[in-house]
Amino acid sequence: MRWPWRRREKGGLAGFSMRGIKRDEEQRRAAFTRRALLLGGVQLGAFAFLGSRLYALQVEQGERFATLAEENRLSVRLLPPPRGRVLDRNGHVVAGNRLNWRALLVAEQTADVEATLANFSQIVPLTEAEIARVVRETRRRRRFVPLTVREFLTWEEMARIEVNAPVLPGILIDVGTTRIYPEAEHLAHIVGYVAPPSEADMDGDPLLQLPGIRVGRAGIERHHEPALRGRAGAVQVEVNAVGRVIRELDRREGAAGADVEITIDTELQKAVRARCEEGTSVVLMDARNGEVLAMGSQPSFDPNLFNSGISTAQWREWTEGRATPLINKATNGLYAPGSTFKMVVALAALEARVTTPFERIFCPGHLDFGGHRFHCWNRFGHGQVDMRTSVKVSCDVYYYEIARRVGMDRIAAMARRFGMGVPLPIELPGTRSGLVPTRAWREARGQRWSPGDTVVHGIGQGFYQLTPLSLAVMTVRLASGRAVQPHLTRAIGGRPAPGAGAEDWPSLGIPEGHLRQMRDAMWSVVNEQGGTAWSSRDLGGFGQMAGKTGTTQVRRVSREQRERGFDVRNMPREWRPHALFVGYAPAQNPRFAVSVVVEHGTSGSGAAAPLARDVLRDAFERFGAGVETPRVARLRGGE
């Protein structure tokens, strides 16, 4: 800036005038005005921007942000519903719920988590692994989130914890529910058990993400999981900025799971299992409608152990031993049917018209065919036998011959009509269909089906793999002539299940005359002297039983052993044949049908037939000769 008076003082210059002063003043004013306008423009733009944003937030998006703010303040949490019960046919609870007292830890309420856990373990013992788990979880989760320290507390343990509360800061007692199976191992294979859900169980239901929730892992628990699970309730709570609950605002209880009533009679089930030794399986069905009344598999397991966790030692005992208690042998055990299959072969031969019921075939004790000798179980032979006698005395040579005539594919087709080698709609997930082989099945594996294979399969040996359940279904269909399906569910939520109590199953399409031939032959097995089950004929005044024995080899018998007339009872147990029996009663008006498999039982007549007779007696004593239980009548009336 120029200063006129300084010019005059220094150089004595004379050009000073008021004009210069005015010009400088105008320049200063112009500069100030430009700066003020620029600053005002910036401020005006800022206010305009803020105004537009405020309008957008307050007017255009006000409702949305108000909702978000409310959601941050309010939290809706799911409430697990009580799981539905499983009842037997008489209303007896076989899977229910009980209170589960548990100790929880809130880490923010204690200054030293490890010290609290140490004090707790002196009252209720904790392992080092349990303590380490809780400490690890406190580091992973927010400190106000409760953690489970110990479940399934007894009343005494809970009382000791409450008395010592002053030295247990952060410990609180909570109550939930846990699954209980009052009949333990008696119904384990049928009812199943529950366990925490896995990733594969997630079906979009948020209920499965709740802590402590359980889902069915086997049996009825798994099959009826959606009905038993119920519908979750909800509680609305107010929370602060970090998610801590301030207060509860609203609660809506969920819908408890539906009760499922099954066809099993618990007392009859216990009686059946009491008669079973290790490796034995029994299926008892109502021959009129397909209800499974009892299903025994020995050995079994206690499903209650899954609630508290299975130890490694227990799991090894269950899975590595010969007994395999976790496997339901009635639905998953696979066996050759032996002579119990002969009626199916005979029916296939009658339908194909390759024989008649009156044709006699000579049995010398063996059949020579294709360069091989196929032996009858009676090495002295049965002489001339017709179809009825062949079933009565279980002649193998007769069935070698008619199987050779009819062919394997026709036999397999008839077997499938009787429920063998096909899926059965029983409500037990994982039930095996078994196998009835065919020529195409063998050739698909790169092997040729030989005529000798057909001969062996004529007596129920060879590649067959059938379950006791499928043998029971075969027996029911023989007795009724209809395509009866097995089922375990009577009612869901108090309403009859689809198909429950049905007696109008479709016909098998087999001539009634052919079926009468088989029924008469099965009657002779039990009730005529010389029949293979003659010694098991006494039903204790409940009529007569019809049936068929079976014995299946698990180890080949050499020619030398046959010539010596060896006794299989002298063989090691695991080499002895399996014993089988199928039957129904009363013979003239079938009410019950039964199948029995005794692993390594040596003979069907000696081990399986007496057991089947006793099971049928138990059924008659429990149900009478044919009177419906009152509960069945009520359900059919629309209860």
Give the pLDDT confidence of 559-592 residue by residue, as tens digits. 555 555 556 666 667 778 999 999 999 999 999 9
| 597: pLDDT strictly greater than 90 | yes
Q: Which of 33-37, 257-261, 331-335 has the lowest mean pLDDT?
A: 33-37
pLDDT score, position 357: 94
- The C-alpha angle 186, 191, 197, rounded to 5 degrees, equals 130
pLDDT score, position 559: 57
pLDDT score, position 630: 37
Q: What are phi and psi of 29, to 5 degrees?
A: -65, -40
pLDDT score, position 150: 84
What digits encode the pLDDT tens for the residues 442-483? 999 989 999 999 999 999 999 999 999 999 999 999 999 999
pTM over 0.85: no
- What is the band of 73 on the pLDDT scale with cuts at 50, 70, 90? low
Q: Is there a contact between 426 and 219 (Cβ–Cβ < 8 Å)?
A: no
pLDDT score, position 13: 45
Mean pLDDT score, 328-350: 95
Mean pLDDT score, 367-383: 89
Q: Is there a contact between 545 and 539 (Cβ–Cβ < 8 Å)?
A: yes
Percent of the chain with pLDDT over 70: 82
pLDDT score, position 596: 97
Closest CA relative to residue 163, chosen from 111, 122, 127: 122
Q: Which of 47-61, 89-103, 398-412 has the lowest mean pLDDT?
A: 47-61
What digits encode the pLDDT tens for the residues 398-418? 999 999 999 999 999 999 999
pLDDT score, position 104: 85
Cα 397 to Cα 101, 147, 208, 383, 519: the distances in Å are: 67, 71, 60, 10, 21
| 199: pLDDT strictly greater than 50 | yes
CA 90 to chain centroid? 22
pLDDT score, position 636: 35
Kind plus residue range of the DSSP H or E element containing 222 = helix 219-223
pLDDT score, position 135: 87
| 121: pLDDT strictly greater than 60 | yes
Q: Is there a contact between 119 and 164 (Cβ–Cβ < 8 Å)?
A: yes
Mean pLDDT score, 499-506: 78
pLDDT score, position 63: 62
Which of residues 65 and 376 earns the better pLDDT score? 376
- What is the band of 632 on the pLDDT scale with cuts at 50, 70, 90? very low
What digits encode the pLDDT tens for the residues 217-265? 899 999 999 999 888 777 666 665 544 556 656 667 677 889 999 999 9
| 313: pLDDT strictly greater than 50 | yes
Burial degree of 428 (CB within 10 A; 0-12, 13-18, 19+): buried
pLDDT score, position 1: 45
Which of residues 54 and 120 earns the better pLDDT score? 120
Residue type, 617: R
Percent of the chain with pLDDT over 90: 48
| 67: pLDDT strictly greater than 70 | no
Q: d(Cα 302, Cα 252) in Å, to the nearest integer? A: 36
pLDDT score, position 320: 78
